[in-house]
Amino acid sequence: MDRLTGGTRPYLLLTLMCLFLYMPGLVTLPPLDRDESRFMQATRQMLETGDYVRIQFQSEMRAKKPAGAYWAQAASVIAFSDPTTREPWPYRLPSLLAAWAATLMTFGIGRRLFGPPAALLGAALLASCLMVVAEAHQAKTDAILLATVVLAQGVLGRFYLAARRGDKQPSFGTALIFWIAVGVSVLIKGPVVPVILLLTILSLTIFDRRIIGPGWLWGMRPIEGLAIAIAIAAPWFFAISQATDGAFVGEAVKNDLLPKLLGAQESHGAPPGMYLLLSPVTLWPASLLLVPALIWAWGKRAWPEVRFCFAWIIPTWVMFELIPTKLPHYVLPVFPALALLMAASAWGGDMRDGRGLRLWATAWSVIALALAGAVLLAPLAYGDRFDLTSLPAFVAIAGTGLLSAWLAMRGRVLGAAFAVLVTSCATFPVVLDGVLPQLNQLWVSRSVAELVATRPHQGPVVVAGYSEPSLVFLLGTDTRLTTGSEAAAILAERAGTLVLISDREEAAFQAECAERAVKTAVVGKVKGFNYSRGRPVALTAYAVEDKP
């Protein structure tokens, strides 16, 4: 094992693993609704207008997140593609690179906490869990946020462990990295990372007050550091406030932050405990090791290395459980610490075979079988036909999953840890590149874009009754989203227009066409399933009937 964990070898191994997991699907997956497509479209409008301060989705101000992730996406598009592209992959590259960076930095943290073998395994477990793989494929903020929190927590851990071990405090240059990470994180997702860091620091300070006291924090140069973080983040906040007369920040707090803290925003509410219930899925397949890791870590909670991980995990997890609005990726920032505890417990080698572990492994195997079954059946439900490539995928996912569970049931946790890595590598590339892109009924916007490309028309496409952001990204910023009656009025005024009408807007469209004596011809149809709303959708494309 020493040969694999020495020098640059672990970084090379982790890089190859990330490429194997993250590249499949990056190009072939269509734009996802809704957040990813909103981010990509807002970035495109930055590129189209040259305005890198305002964040717009068509004519609407998008007062949700700061500009950092949009800038990263814009830089990627300029560097690797063309601003006019309607391909999502250049917008997704920053997320892929951030997930890769978070993986490498997790190895760096783990090496100081638990040694190189556990660090390598922990970083691999993080890279291969469902939530990280999913975020690496989406042009959003969360993978980038993960990288910033790992960087900041890595520096914080160095200062904490130096104080606990009586070692020399790291240099100001090391502290500078911490504050740069804080400043960048604020540009990515506002106060999320600073709050996580503050909770970690408070937990360590409270529980170790009799051992080291709060003095170790002064080595991080908080006064100079705060000034640096503010200097990084403040200019954009000042610029956006000037550009919008303060409306952006006010709307972000009033309509985004406070609703999430005080209630269930956009129907994403759930009671406390939901993240715990979802953890077997969000951490899958590494979640097989979750219960053994927590049992092992609780027994070693006096270790400063384990205590640091607990301070990273517990208060942040509790905070998100208490916030009414819940989305699965909110707890992603604590996954690196969980992955390192899983790896350390696997290398600990003292896990006993027990009924609780067998029950957990059995429950986990159900998830593996469910995913394998979904790979087999999804093409029948949402594709055009049964896909023969699903059969070997089913066998690989079910086989490696059951092997992992069997090893865990036998108490062979280290063997199970390596087996789940095989499970991940057998699952995600097949699902993301082979199965999901073929589920044509789910990709309604892609089907509409393909239809529009075959039909000559003048001016923007008009769509009534279907307003998913992916459609705007694929058809262009000037796409008109409206009602059935308004679509008929536009068609009456501009005969060369192509309109698409959903079944819900059909009656209003036909009534207005009759009122205006507009004769229409059906030029195409699209049927599918709108997964964002959880219901079928049917769109009919109309043009003005050609005169004989």
pLDDT in tens, 388-406: 778 888 898 899 999 999 9
* Res 47: pLDDT: 97
Residues 133 and 252 in one domain: yes
Residues 217 and 158 in one domain: yes
* Res 108: pLDDT: 97
* Res 345: pLDDT: 94
Residues 344 and 407 in one domain: no
Residues 96 and 180 in one domain: yes
* Res 350: pLDDT: 54
Residue where one domain finishes, among candidates 323, 348, 373:
348
Residues 140 and 189 in one domain: yes
Measuring CA to CA, which residue among 136, 143, 122, 141 is closest to residue 19? 136
Answer whether residue 479 shows pLDDT above 80. yes
Answer whether residue 266 shows pLDDT above 60. no
Q: 446 near 474, Cβ under 8 Å?
A: yes
* Res 240: pLDDT: 96
* Res 392: pLDDT: 82
Residues 124 and 272 in one domain: yes
Q: Parallel, antiparallel, or unpaired for β 499-502 and 535-544?
A: antiparallel
pLDDT in tens, 321-346: 999 989 999 999 999 999 999 999 99
Residues 417 and 497 in one domain: no
Total domain count for the chain?
Answer: 3
Answer whether residue 264 shows pLDDT above 60. no
* Res 6: pLDDT: 78
Q: Write phi, then psi, for 431 (nearest 5 degrees).
A: -65, -45
> Which residues are CB-contacts of 79 (< 8 A; sequence separation ≥ 6)?
none
Report the pLDDT averaged over residues 238-266. 81
Residues 413 and 294 in one domain: no
Report the pLDDT averaged over residues 162-191. 94
* Res 416: pLDDT: 93
Residues 109 and 39 in one domain: yes
Report the pLDDT averaged over residues 519-524. 95
* Res 353: pLDDT: 57
Dist. CA 57–CA 467, nearest whole Å: 12
| Domain enclosing residue 197, as ranges | 2-348
* Res 358: pLDDT: 85
Residue where one domain finishes, among candidates 387, 410, 440:
440
Q: 434 near 389, Cβ under 8 Å?
A: yes
pLDDT in tens, 186-199: 999 999 999 999 99
Residue where one domain finishes, among candidates 421, 440, 459:
440
Residues 242 and 270 in one domain: yes
Residues 343 and 475 in one domain: no
Answer whether residue 238 shows pLDDT above 90. yes
* Res 256: pLDDT: 76
Residues 113 and 259 in one domain: yes
Report the pLDDT averaged over residues 367-381. 91
Answer whether residue 263 shows pLDDT above 70. no
Answer whether residue 252 shows pLDDT above 90. no
Please give the single-letter amino acid code of residue 325. Answer: T
pLDDT in tens, 12-51: 999 999 999 999 999 999 999 999 999 999 999 999 999 9
413 versus 261: the higher-pLDDT residue is 413
